[in-house]
Amino acid sequence: MDDKKIRKISKRELLEILLEQAKKIKELESELDKTNKKLETKKMIIEEAGTFADASAKLNGIFEVAEETANQYLVNVKEKCKKIENNTKKECQKLKEVMLKETQDICNIKIKEADDYFNRKKQELKELAKKKNNKTVAKTVIKSDNIKEETSKQPKKNNKKVTTMKKGK
């Protein structure tokens, strides 16, 4: 991972990754110890072998074990990467949903505040028109009522964007 990706990961996720890595290191150290013991055994066998042909045949067993170990390690790494990828996708989806809800809630609050402000100003104009018995102000209030009704009758657009994640190959 590069520095930018690491900085974006939460402390909790970093700790989980570190714990997984520590566990994997312990497993690999244990596996290395076993392999080293086998290697020592193989070295002793080679030393005991009287001919190069015998030694070569015995070395093949070491290489086979090393190859099997390396293949198993790669399988384990791929599985862990897949799990991390799936968990990251799930977390991103959850965050997306939370952010969309929070944004919608904020928008609803702003709309309510704007409606309240509009209604207060309209009421103030009505009161001013009554006090001054001003027909021009009264007409303005009536026009604003008509505008408000027209805009509330218009269908609301759903601006939610649906995005899909493309799988990288």
Within the chain, residue ranges assigned H as helices are 3-8, 11-48, 52-132, 135-153
Q: Is the pLDDT of residue 123 over 70?
A: yes
Specify if 112 maps to a domain: yes
What mean pLDDT is predicted for residues 102-124?
94
Specify if 128 maps to a domain: yes
CA atoms within 13 A on the CB side of 94: 6
Q: Is the pLDDT of residue 93 over 50?
A: yes
Question: Can you read off the two tokens belonging to residue 168?
Answer: 């990288």
Distance CA 32, CA 12 (A): 30
Q: Give the pLDDT band of residue 125 (cuts 50, 70, 90).
A: confident
Contact 48, 25 (CB under 8 A): no
User: Looking up tokens 């070491």, which residue turns up?
Assistant: 62
Distance CA 143, CA 134 (A): 15
For the stretch 27-45, pLDDT in tens is 999 999 999 998 888 877 7
Contact 149, 122 (CB under 8 A): no
Question: Can you read off the two tokens belonging to residue 160?
Answer: 């939610």
More confident position, 105 or 6: 105
Q: Is the pLDDT of residue 111 over 90?
A: yes
CA 43 to chain centre: 49
- Per the rule left: phi > 0, alpha: psi between -120 and 50, beta: everything else, 133 is left
What mean pLDDT is predicted for residues 59-84?
86
* Total domains, the chain: 1
Domain range spanning residue 51? Answer: 8-148
For 89, 98, 124, the CA distances from 165, given in Å and listed in that order, are 9, 18, 51
Specify if 169 maps to a domain: no
Specify if 155 maps to a domain: no
Q: Is the pLDDT of residue 6 over 50?
A: yes
Specify if 73 maps to a domain: yes
Specify if 165 maps to a domain: no
Specify if 121 maps to a domain: yes
Specify if 168 maps to a domain: no
Residue type, 35: T
Contacts with 91 (C-beta within 8 Å, 6 or more apart), sequence order? 13
Q: Over the Cα atoms of the chain, what is R_g? A: 36
